[in-house]
Amino acid sequence: MIILARAAAYSTLFIGVLLILLPGRILAWSGMTRPATFGPPDLAGAALTGLAGALALWCIGTFVVVGKGTPAPFDPPRRLVVRGPYRFVRNPMYLGAGLAIWGAALVYRSLALFGYGAVFFLAMHALVVAYEEPTLERAFGEEYAAYRLRVPRWLPHFGAGRWRSPERS
């Protein structure tokens, strides 16, 4: 239960700052307001944002239940997480967050918010390559190396060759 509370606190901070506060400031700075009508682009953007949010929650739950830790770098999982959405792509939480930003950009028809999403993806890519992957390699060794070879970093793979954890093979 303590792990769940820590994960909820970290996730609230991550979501609050990166997915609500900063996009809200970008929209305010660019003079954007909520669209007066709700048409197909808005529906598509809202659906994308909702699905991306569900993906992020699935990731957080998987970190808590399977990894016995949180997504926070200062409170990482104790076990390598290769189940749930991590079977299909190595960074589903960042992918979900970026897609949520782009969904909001679609709803608001905001190029500034779309640009923020692009910068978010570039920053997360740099973080993953420079920090997370080397850290996971040190922490989990061959298990992570094998996972890294089988599961793509950003574009999900849903085929038969996806990762199967050793205990489920």
pTM, whole model, 2 decimals?
0.78
What are the residue ranges of helices labelled H in the chain? 2-14, 22-29, 40-65, 92-108, 111-127, 133-150
pLDDT digits (tens, 9 = 90+) for 119-146: 999 999 999 999 999 999 999 999 999 9
HSE value, Cβ hemisphere, 13 Å, CA-based, for 92: 25
What is d(CA 21, CA 161) in angstroms, rounded to the nearest whole number? Answer: 39
Do 74 and 136 meet the contact criterion of CB atoms below 8 Å apart? no
What domains are there in the chain, each with its CATH number?
2-159 (1.20.120.1630)
pLDDT digits (tens, 9 = 90+) for 55-111: 988 998 898 888 887 777 777 888 999 999 999 999 999 999 999 999 989 988 889
